[in-house]
Amino acid sequence: MTPFKCNHDGACNDVRLCCTDTEMTLTRSDIRRIEALGFRADEFTRQAPDGFVELRNVDGLCYFYDPEKKVCRIYEHRPEGCRYYPVVYDYRMKTCVVDRDCPSGVTVTADEIAELCPRVRRLVETLVGESNDGDQ
């Protein structure tokens, strides 16, 4: 879905920074897709203080990150926000940007950001809408 390709070059010191202390917000669709794999939402989610539902961290890593194999256990079914990363929405600037913490982020072109930004904006709108209706 995203044109970005993680370069896995070791810049993340064998633990992907995008999978460390994640605050990845989940849509209802993300949760249903992951539950269909046999996981229970109460295992992999947490309620964030801002009202959103996020991926749970275990020992500082995303619930689905396998530190031994250094891969995501549900990569093909990962949350929509993970698919767009490192392109994120900057609320202050009201536009999409590349997350500065991603060592491979410098490989993302302006054209790729422009192509992906409408999807990122729709995701943000979905998340806000789901949070506002209080029925996560």
- Report the domain count for the chain: 1
Q: Is there a domain that residue 10 lies in?
A: no
| Domain assignment of residue 46, given as a range | 17-131
Let me know if residue 7 belongs to a domain: no
Residue 126 lies in a domain: yes
- 93: its two tokens: 């600037």
**Burial, 19: exposed, middle or buried (Cβ in 10 Å; 0-12, 13-18, 19+)?**
buried
Three-class SS state of 55:
strand
With tokens 């949070």, the residue in question is: 131
In a domain, 6, yes or no: no
Residue 128 tokens, joined: 């806000």
2 found inside a domain: no
C-alpha 24 chain-centroid distance: 4
| pLDDT one digit per residue (tens) for the chain, 136 residues | 445 666 655 556 556 778 889 899 999 999 999 999 999 999 999 999 888 999 999 999 999 999 888 889 999 999 999 999 999 999 999 999 999 888 888 888 999 999 999 999 999 999 999 987 765 4
